[in-house]
Structure formats: C-alpha cells, structure tokens
Structure 1
Amino acid sequence: MLDIQDLLVQRGDGAQAHRVRLPNLQIGAGEILAITGESGCGKSTLLEAIGLLLAPKELAHFRLGREALDIGRMLAADDQAALTQVRSRDLGFILQSGGLLPFLKVRDNISLPRRLLGMSEHSPHVERAISALRLEGLLDKLPQALSIGERQRVACVRAIAHEPQLLLADEPTAALDPHSAHRLFELLLSLVADLGLSALVVSHDWALVRDFGLKRLGAISHEGETRFEAMD
C-alpha cells in the first residue's frame, strides 16, 4: 500500500536548515505504524512530506495504494493536478486540532470529503464508523458544542469518509486525557483494520504506542538532521 525509499525533506535554509530523512518504509493494507521522537525532531514534517504537502529535496521511490500509483514520478514532474487528486482522493488527514469546519454540523463535516469528490453522501462504512465511535447523538450539533474528545472522534470519521488508501494522523490524542486517548487509539486501530487502510500516526505518547504493540518509526537525531528508522 505504501512503499517509500530514500526520502529527504528540508525545513529552512543555511544554518537554520533541518533535514528529515526516511531511508525506507513499507506498510501493507490494514497496518498502522507509529512515528515517534522528541518534540521538534521533525515528526510532523515527515508526515507532511508523505502527505504531499511538502516537496522532497531527494526521493528514490514512492508508490501508493493498491494500484501502486507512482507518486515519485508525479513529484519529479511537478504534476500539481495529479498530486492534488491523490491528496483529495487517496489520503485522509487527522489534525491535532480536529480541523472541523465550525459552521457545519457534524454530519456535514463528515460528508464533506465525499461531496467534494462527487460521491454519494451515504456509505455503509461511514455508518459503521459513526456507530463504532458513538457519534449518532452528535450528528446535528456544531463543533463548538462538542468536547475535545468528541471533536477528535468526528475528525477520525471524516478522515476515512471518502475511503482513502492512506490515513495520516498528527498527534490525534495530544489534547485528550489518558482514558480518552486510549479509547480513541483503540477505535482508530479498529477502523484501520476493518476498512483495510494503511495508517501512519505521529504520537508523543510512547506508553500508548507500547500498550497497543505498534510497530514504529523512531527518530535518530543529529545536528541538523533527523533520520526515521524502524524500531523494535
């Protein structure tokens, strides 16, 4: 589902530059991988590069999905139309803040990605996710009426509503208490497995990652550069 080799992305220039390097990454359908490391090491930068929000300085190979889309070729050609289509159709994002639109009710926030792609608003797998995350009673509420945990649960459903191939979550439990964080992580893993997605989850909570026995990419930081490598 996801195969990347020799990815390098850089933030800043000159003496302030920080390079983030990913030598190798493969994830299959139904698999979830945690990205861990100290604050400021480049976890979110790596996720943004994989999510096609940052162009890499170097890249040997990048293929995505069941059809093995050649993302590397699109990046090399700077084919923005194709990259935009991949972002909107094949990727799902969960932000730390939830990222819900405040003027839309929960049901409309969830259905928005499908509507933008011309898909039917009704989907059995969305209904299953709403049920699994216990959101039925929140569908007609606006985001400001929800707790932080409820907003994050809605964001999870919205991220998978359009049936993406890869889910990217940036610290989805950062604002939650330990019990809520554990519950959200549990439900997120269940959705990934049930829907056959691949998922990358940035997390500062190493204990949570260990509790669920997730494979992880760990940060190895040196002056000006962080490498992310598979860890036990």
Structure 2
Amino acid sequence: MIGPAPVYTLRNVVLRRGGRKAGFELHVSNLVVPRSEILFLNGQSGSGKSTLLDLLAGTLAPDRAEVFEMAALGRPPLDLAALWRRRRQDAFAAVRASSIGYVLQTGGLLPYLSVVENIALTARLAGRYDPGHVRELADRLGLSRLLGLRPDRLSVGERQRVAIARALAHRPDVLLADEPTASLDPPTADRVFALLVETVERFRTTAVIASHDWSRTQATGRRTIGHALRREDDVVRAYFWT
C-alpha cells in the first residue's frame, strides 16, 4: 500500500542572499518531510536555519529548484517551484494561510489584541474560527487565565506560548517553529518545548522545529535534518538534507 505523499519534497534547491555576489547560499540536495512527523533542524545561530524555514513557509523564493513540492492535507502535491517561476505569490500565500502555522523567534504578537484575540487571529483569517479549539489550545499551553490580557502584560515565555497557540489555531497541516525557546531561561524553555512537542503530537501536525539546543532535541528521539556549514570561494554555504 502506498502511503500519503510527503508534506515537503525538495531536491537540488538553491537560495542566495545578496544577489549574484551573494555572501551566503543555502543548498538543499534532497529534503523529504513525511506527514505527521516532527523533524528538528539543529545548528548554531547564523547557520541558515531561519532561511530554510522561510523557504518552506514561502516567504523567500529559491533561485533554483529542480523539485520543490508541498502536499497539503487533502490536496495533490503543489509545484511550488513552478509557482515561483510564474510569480504566483498569491497562490502560495493562499496555501500558507490555510496550511502553515509559523512560530517566529520574536513571537510576532499584535500588541493591541488580547491573548485570546491573538490566538484566534489565524483561524479567523482562514475562515476556521472554532472557540472550543482556541480554548483547548489555551488550556493545553497553560494560558487560560491570561486570555483577557494584552501581550505587554505577559512574560517572554507566556508570549511564546501564545505564539505557538496562534500558529496552531487554524489547524494547519504544517507547523514551522524558529527557535521557539531561545530567549527563555532553561526551566521555562524545558516546559515550553515539551508543551510544543506534546501539542503537535496530539493534533498530528507535521512540524519542522529549528533549535540550536542539541541536547533538548536529541532527548525527544526524533529525527533531525542533516546540516553542514562551509566557507567555499569566499561564500558561506549552508547544506541541508534528510
């Protein structure tokens, strides 16, 4: 029996930062992200992790791509490389709004919205607002008592948990998380990281989580994306593969 298509399939994808005289290049030789799995993306700061996540999220375009496909749940694989070549950013934006949740390093909460309004934002934009699901996420992430507060009343750890809940509120097929615990003290980081993994597992979301904390990710027993960083001909090249 043939299983479901991988969520992402990338082969020979190159992205340059800085145009023709780029000082940094990202190379993906072969990257496959299976459905309903959690993959960790390890590496030091400045090693291209955020660039790869932005590529997967569709906020950065590749300079070259032999294969770059995404198979959102219930849809045939979408040829993202072809969309970029035809400059169909609108089509990719629609996929991103419905199928991808993205946790940024800074959280990115809107300061004029309450916690519950921030969490519900992605679901409202996607036309999938479900008050029960929002409450369940808030409960799972320990946010129930904070729902009426604005972000400036929250700790850093609380803001990160709100960002995680918001990224999952529209039931995305994919969660991308960029160093979601980097700015937290170790005990808080342990709790938030465990809650993130537990929540993603419970909702069977496919996830790619970037972290420079090798010990924390290795303790989960999950697979990691291969990574190497090299300086070649005055260009820093970041290589990724599975």
Within-5 A mapping of 1:22-171 = 22-61=28-67, 62-66=69-73, 67=75, 68-124=77-133, 126-171=134-179
Partner of 2:4: none
Determine if contact 2:31/2:240 at 8 Å carries over to the other structure: no
> Structure 1 40/120 Cα, relative in aligned 2: closer, same or farther at 3 Å?
closer
**2:63 partner amino acid:** K
List per-residue Cα deviations over 1:107-155 (Å, max 9, x = no partner): 000111121223334243x332211111110000000111111111111
The root-mean-square deviation of aligned C-alpha atoms, in Å, is 1.5
> Structure 1 65/118 Cα, relative in aligned 2: closer, same or farther at 3 Å?
closer
Runs of 5+ unmatched residues, structure 2: 1-6
Determine if contact 2:129/2:170 at 8 Å carries over to the other structure: no
**1:188 partner amino acid:** L
Partner of 1:226: 238
List per-residue Cα deviations over 1:39-66 (Å, max 9, x = no partner): 2121111111111111101112222323
Which segment drifts farther, 184-193 or 70-79? 70-79
Length-normalised TM-score, structure 2: 0.89
**1:63 partner amino acid:** M
Length-normalised TM-score, structure 1: 0.93
**2:83 partner amino acid:** M
Determine if contact 1:220/1:228 at 8 Å carries over to the other structure: yes
Runs of 5+ unmatched residues, structure 1: none
| Runs of 4+ deviating beyond 6 Å | none
Identical columns (%): 38
